[in-house]
């Protein structure tokens, strides 16, 4: 997946003039903080260098994961066309860009962010979007200041992308309740595709089902998750690496796979898929094995061969994350 051209150009402008070696050093330090899931009371992005490193190496990946999650919602809810959005822990405004790419009628977005440098960077990028009204608010979502920032009017689309992992575990349930209250239609949570990220997603899933939410994606059922450690539910989005991205990461490949876990719930029921492909398909001559999570709450591998006719053709065309 490529960044939208306007975002790509805005990112390139923001980082132009920075030495690749400085970006690479800041990117390495940032990646290390994310990898360790360090929660030491300091925001990971606290300086201009941190913010620019994020733009160069993380934004393309989080954009791809959020955009892929939105595509799954789009498939399950053809009638969903959000006009208003709320993004919590907006960072450089990644979810805003993905939302307007998926739903061009988006007209009014509120973005809440704690880091002043990230907010400034996101505000500059957001001036290039086609969304007519974008409002930024500074708030710490771990405190009551988030209530004022969220406001009273529920929003069609509420997003929390790559944020739960930065919050203390005891903050999460209250924040989720507040976000569900603020959701007029659909709430989307995206996390890194690690076992720890998935644990946060299934905890949120249980709380939101309890609150009456309808599952939109990825689960084709509201039964208990059939996966058990060491297995975990995650997906992959292929991200095109720009030259800058490769330089900042000292990487040679022109792409990378961003692993992510996500959950989309709504106040309205979605059309339930029969199953979702939850691992990369294994293809052989005339046969394909899919790992499926099914509508009846079960999960497991299923072999499809040419003898299955049309069903085989659909299985062959499917990919990791496809709803069947």
Ligand X SMILES: C[S@@+](CC[C@H](N)C(=O)[O-])C[C@H]1O[C@@H](n2cnc3c(N)ncnc32)[C@H](O)[C@@H]1O
CB closer to ligand X out of 92 and 218: 92
CB of 138 to ligand X, least distance (A): 8
Q: How far apart are CA 5 and CA 1, in angstroms?
A: 12
Residue 277 has phi, psi (to 5 degrees) of: -75, 120
CB 190 within 8 A of CB 70: no
Beta strands (DSSP E) in 211-254 are 214-217, 235-240
Residue 274 has phi, psi (to 5 degrees) of: -70, -35
Q: How far apart are CA 255 and CA 249, in angstroms?
A: 12
CB of 209 to ligand X, least distance (A): 24
Give, for 292, the enclosing helix (H) or strand (E): strand 287-294
CB closer to ligand X out of 3 and 225: 3
Other C-beta atoms closer than 10 Å to the C-beta of 192 total 23
CB of 168 to ligand X, least distance (A): 9
Residues in the chain: 324
Q: How far apart are CA 248 and CA 263, in angstroms?
A: 31
CB closer to ligand X out of 121 and 279: 121
CB 156 within 8 A of CB 85: yes
111-146 core/surface letters (b: 16 or more CB in 10 A; e: else): bbbbbebbbebbbebbebbebeebebbebebbeeeb
CB closer to ligand X out of 97 and 304: 97
CB closer to ligand X out of 28 and 214: 28
For 19, the token pair is 């030495």
CA–chain centroid gap for 10, Å, is 21
- The residues of the shown chain that bind ligand X, judged by CB under 6 A, are 43, 45, 59, 62, 66, 89-91, 94-95, 113-115, 118, 140-142, 161-163, 166-167
CB closer to ligand X out of 55 and 265: 55
CB closer to ligand X out of 89 and 220: 89
CB closer to ligand X out of 120 and 184: 120
* DSSP for 137-154, written as a single string: EE--TTSTHHHHHH-SS-
CB of 109 to ligand X, least distance (A): 13
CB of 309 to ligand X, least distance (A): 42
CB of 284 to ligand X, least distance (A): 37
CB of 69 to ligand X, least distance (A): 11
Residue nearest to ligand X (CB): 91
For 48, the token pair is 């201009």
CB of 84 to ligand X, least distance (A): 18
């Amino acid at each position: 997946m490529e960044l939208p051209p306007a975002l790509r150009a805005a990112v390139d402008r923001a980082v132009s003039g920075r030495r690749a070696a400085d970006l690479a050093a800041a990117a390495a330090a940032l990646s290390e903080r994310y990898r360790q899931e360090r929660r030491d009371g300091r925001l990971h992005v606290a300086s201009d260098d941190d913010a620019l490193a994020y733009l160069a190496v993380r934004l393309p990946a989080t954009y791809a994961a959020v955009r892929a999650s939105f595509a799954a919602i789009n498939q399950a809810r053809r009638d969903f066309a959000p006009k208003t959005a709320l993004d919590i822990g907006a960072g450089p405004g990644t979810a805003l860009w993905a939302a307007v790419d998926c739903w061009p009628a988006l007209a009014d977005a509120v973005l809440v962010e704690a880091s002043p440098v990230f907010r400034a960077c996101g505000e500059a990028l957001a001036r290039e979007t086609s969304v007519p009204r974008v409002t930024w608010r500074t708030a710490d979502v771990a405190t009551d200041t988030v209530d004022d920032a969220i406001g009273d009017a529920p929003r069609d689309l509420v997003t929390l992308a790559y944020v739960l992992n930065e919050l203390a575990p005891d903050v999460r349930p209250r924040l989720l309740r507040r976000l569900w209250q603020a959701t007029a239609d659909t709430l989307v949570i995206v996390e890194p595709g690690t076992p720890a990220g998935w644990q946060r997603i299934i905890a949120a899933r249980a709380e939101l089902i309890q609150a009456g939410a309808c599952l939109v994606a990825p689960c084709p059922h509201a039964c208990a998750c059939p996966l058990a450690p060491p297995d975990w539910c995650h997906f992959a989005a292929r991200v095109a690496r720009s030259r800058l991205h490769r330089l900042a990461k000292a990487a040679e490949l022109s792409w990378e796979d961003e692993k992510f876990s996500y959950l989309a719930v709504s106040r309205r029921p979605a059309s339930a898929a029969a199953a979702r492909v939850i691992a990369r398909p294994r293809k052989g001559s005339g046969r394909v094995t899919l790992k499926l999570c099914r509508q009846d709450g079960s999960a497991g591998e299923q072999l499809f061969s040419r003898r299955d006719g049309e069903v085989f053709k659909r299985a062959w065309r499917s990919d990791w994350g496809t709803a069947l």
